């Protein structure tokens, strides 16, 4: 059996105690599912939740599939610590997809007037959202010149039974493909895959050159080719083993207001005139499961994309600084690099390489190898004790960045900040760190001195 959402859900149930729950009580997709997830997050829990009865919808809905690094790592067959290396291995050894004749995702085909997006359990998450959204769809689109297939996640706003609004970041690949078609006055055919295996999600989120096909990386992550079927109403390819596929086209020269929508950084983004998607068919399994990634700053939306981002940053920075230890996305638009500095100025090279590799990146902080980049207390300690602002902070003004950054004065144009929080001129020559002597730490046992300690 090929890896798909179902095989993954079975794996979670087998391998992760307290990692999977069915909700049999009926629930409203307007805010109620988001409230359940939020309350669990407040308890620092992110189990997979399968909502069996969603009010007004024909399908059950599953959320939180990709909400923890451990769960994603397990789906790729490795412990969490090896996830970045496993990801890079998949990127380095792609396996091209295989087109097959038929797949379970086309067991039912609803085309033309039968298309009804409102029958899907589309959720509303936040008080600021304009309409129900699809956030967990992988958009498959082919470049009209090369024929290469691009994959990306794009939020989709429900407009009516057959139309969606779409948000495509300028500078990302789907927007480029769309622009090439729009120049010819033609719609861009797309397939939107819903109900995806973690390897599909992580592969789709690969960040790299335009020419690299994400579907091949998915193959590399799975160790076998991703199986694709041809669309019934559009010249598109989509995963044969997805749960639901929306066949559609992004219309040329059409813009309608999309948003506001509460984004991953925790703010509602302003409404803007954006492209319109016309859905020409919904194909699905007999007993399809709808999958959702909660919009906004919920765990799943924060965890999932950082893994490919960190892999990309790791590769780009390591190319100039081979002694990089780790790259961590610590907050929206913010990255921390830890490295063994070999010579002065090297952190600045690392910062420039990181900015060149990741459009969204706005702030980069570099720390020495004795600081854990995953521990923000330690990072702030390094900034507090190793930085002189006049010497170690630099700003590159007015550079393209995320068009979701609410602090930007002009949309999509941001100032980029680098902070070299390494010890100068080197860690070895810096003020020594004070430590209780190692031999004494090893010798002293708390219970000998504090037998009553609870
Ligand atoms: C849940 C989720 C939702 C996303 N929504 C959008 C979106 O609405 N628009 C967008 O441009 N990128 C969105 N992204 C990010 C892109 O999918 C990501 O940058 C992708 O790598 C772009 O593909 P490309 O490199 O082929 O352009 C989202 C990512 C995730 C994980
Ligand atoms: Mn791409």
Supply the pLDDT for residue 81.
85
176 CA → ligand 2 middle, Å: 10
pLDDT at residue 188 in the model? 98
Q: Ligand 1 pocket check: which of 130, 141, 172 to mutate, most ligand atoms within 8 Å of Cβ? A: 172
Question: Is residue 260 reached through a cis peptide bond, with omega within 30 degrees of 0 on the bond before it?
Answer: yes
Cβ of residue 152 lying under 6 Å from some atom of ligand 1: yes
pLDDT tens-digit readout, 352-362: 999 999 999 99
Q: pLDDT category, 441, cuts 50, 70, 90?
A: very high
CA dihedral 367, 370, 376, 378 (to 10 degrees): -110
Ligand 1 binding pocket includes 207 (Cβ within 6 Å): yes
With a 6 Å cutoff on the Cβ, whether 169 touches ligand 1 is yes
Atom from ligand 1 closest to the CA of residue 308: 21
Whether the CB of 226 sits within 6 Å of ligand 1 = no
Give percent of the chain with pLDDT exceeding 90: 96
Cβ 293 under 6 angstroms from ligand 1: yes
Backbone angles phi, psi at 288, to 5 degrees: -60, 150
Please state the atom number of ligand 1 nearest to the C-alpha of residue 155: 8
The whole-number pLDDT of residue 12 equals: 98
Q: pLDDT-based confidence at 171, cuts 50/70/90?
A: confident
The ligand that comes nearest to the alpha carbon of residue 156 is: 1
Task: State the pLDDT at residue 84.
Answer: 87
Listed residue (234, 224, 213, 204) closest to 305, CA to CA: 204
Give the three-class secondary structure for 89: helix
CATH topology of domain 321-420: UbiD C-terminal domain-like (3.40.1670)
147-163: average pLDDT: 97
- Whole-angstrom Cα distance, residue 15 to residue 40? 20
- pLDDT score for 220: 98
pTM exceeding the 0.85 threshold for the entire prediction: yes
DSSP 211-230: TS-HHHHHHHHHTSPPEEEE
Chain-centre distance for alpha carbon 114:
32
Computed on alpha carbons and rounded to an integer, the radius of gyration of the chain in Å comes to: 24
Q: How far is ligand 2, taken at its centre, from the CA of residue 65, in Å?
A: 23
For the record, the structure tokens of 369 come out as: 């190898």
Delimit the domains of the chain by residue range. Answer: 73-294, 321-420
Average pLDDT of the segment spanning 419-442: 97
Is pLDDT of 95 > 90? yes
Residue 205 CA, closest ligand 1 atom number: 21
Token digits of residue 185: 């006055």
Q: Which ligand is nearest to the CA of 165?
A: 1
Distance CA 345, CA 360 (A): 24
Q: What is the pLDDT of residues 37-64, one digit of tens each?
A: 999 999 999 999 999 999 999 999 999 9
User: How far is residue 196's CA from residue 241's CA, in Å, rounded to a whole number?
Assistant: 8
Euclidean distance between CA atoms 395 and 349, whole angstroms: 14
CB 40 within 8 A of CB 50: no
Whether the CB of 306 sits within 6 Å of ligand 1: no
The residue contributing the CA closest to ligand 1 atom 16 is 153
Cβ neighbours for 168, distance < 8 A, ≥ 6 positions apart: 154, 174, 175, 178, 274, 275
Rounded CA gap, 378 and 385, in Å?
10
**298 close to ligand 1 (CB < 6 Angstrom):** no
167, 274 contact by CB (below 8 A): yes
For the four alpha carbons of 152, 154, 160 and 163, in that order, the dihedral sign comes to negative
β-strand pairing of 393-400 with 413-420: antiparallel
**155 C-alpha to ligand 1 centroid (Å):** 8
CB neighbour burial string for 404-421, b if at least 16 within 10 angstroms, e if fewer: bbeebeebbebebbbbbb
| Ligand 1 atom closest to Cα of residue 301 | 1
Give 431's Cβ-side CA count (13 Å radius): 4
Task: Give the number of the atom of ligand 1 that is nearest the alpha carbon of residue 293.
Answer: 1
Nearest CA to ligand 1 atom 12: 154
Q: Is the CB of 301 under 6 A from ligand 1?
A: yes
pLDDT score of 454 more than 90: no
Q: What is the helix (H) or strand (E) element at residue 245, kind and residue range? A: strand 244-250
Q: What is the CATH number of domain 73-294?
A: 2.30.110.10
The per-residue pLDDT for range 360-379, each reduced to its tens digit, is 999 999 999 999 999 999 99
Atom index in ligand 1 nearest the CA of residue 136 equals 1
Measured from the CB, is residue 174 less than 6 Å from ligand 1?
yes
């Amino acid at each position: 059996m090929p890896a798909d959402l179902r095989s993954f859900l079975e794996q979670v149930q087998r391998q992760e105690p307290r990692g999977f729950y069915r909700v049999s009580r009926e629930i409203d997709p307007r805010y109620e599912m988001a409230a359940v997830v939020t309350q669990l997050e407040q308890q620092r829990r992110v189990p997979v939740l399968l909502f069996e009865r969603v009010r007004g919808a024909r399908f059950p809905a599953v959320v939180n599939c990709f909400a923890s690094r451990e769960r994603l790592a397990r789906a790729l067959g490795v412990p969490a610590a090896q996830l970045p290396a496993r990801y890079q291995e998949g990127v380095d050894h792609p396996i091209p997809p295989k087109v097959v004749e038929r797949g379970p995702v086309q067991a039912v085909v609803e085309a033309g007037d039968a298309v009804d997006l409102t029958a899907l359990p589309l959720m509303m998450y936040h008080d600021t959202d304009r309409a129900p959204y699809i956030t967990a769809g992988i958009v498959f689109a082919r470049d009209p010149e090369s024929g290469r297939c691009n994959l990306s996640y794009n939020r989709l706003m429900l407009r009516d039974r057959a139309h969606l609004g779409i948000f495509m970041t300028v500078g990302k690949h789907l927007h480029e493909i769309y622009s090439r078609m729009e120049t010819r006055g033609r719609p861009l055919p797309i397939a939107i895959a819903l109900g995806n295996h973690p390897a599909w999600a992580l592969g789709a989120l690969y960040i790299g050159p335009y020419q690299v096909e994400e579907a091949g990386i998915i193959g590399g992550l799975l160790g076998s080719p991703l199986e694709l079927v041809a669309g019934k109403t559009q010249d598109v390819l989509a995963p044969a083993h997805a749960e639901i596929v929306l066949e559609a086209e992004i219309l040329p020269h059409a813009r309608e207001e999309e948003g506001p929508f509460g984004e991953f950084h925790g703010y509602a983004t302003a409404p803007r005139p954006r492209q319109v998607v016309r859905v020409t068919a919904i194909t699905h399994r007999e007993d399809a499961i709808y999958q959702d990634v909660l919009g906004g700053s919920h765990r799943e939306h924060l965890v999932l994309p950082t893994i490919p981002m960190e892999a990309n940053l790791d590769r780009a920075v390591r190319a100039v600084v081979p002694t990089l230890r780790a790259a961590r996305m610590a907050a929206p638009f913010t990255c921390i690099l830890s490295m063994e500095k070999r010579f002065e100025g090297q952190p600045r090279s690392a910062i420039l390489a990181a900015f060149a590799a990741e459009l969204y990146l706005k702030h980069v902080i570099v720390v020495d190898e004795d600081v854990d980049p995953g521990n923000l207390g330690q990072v702030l300690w390094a900034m507090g004790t190793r930085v002189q602002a006049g010497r170690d902070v630099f700003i590159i003004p007015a550079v393209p960045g995320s068009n979701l950054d609410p602090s930007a004065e002009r949309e999509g144009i941001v100032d980029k900040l680098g902070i070299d929080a390494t010890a100068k001129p080197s860690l070895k020559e810096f003020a020594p760190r004070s430590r209780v002597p190692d031999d004494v730490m090893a010798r002293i046992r708390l219970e000998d001195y504090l037998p009553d300690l609870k």
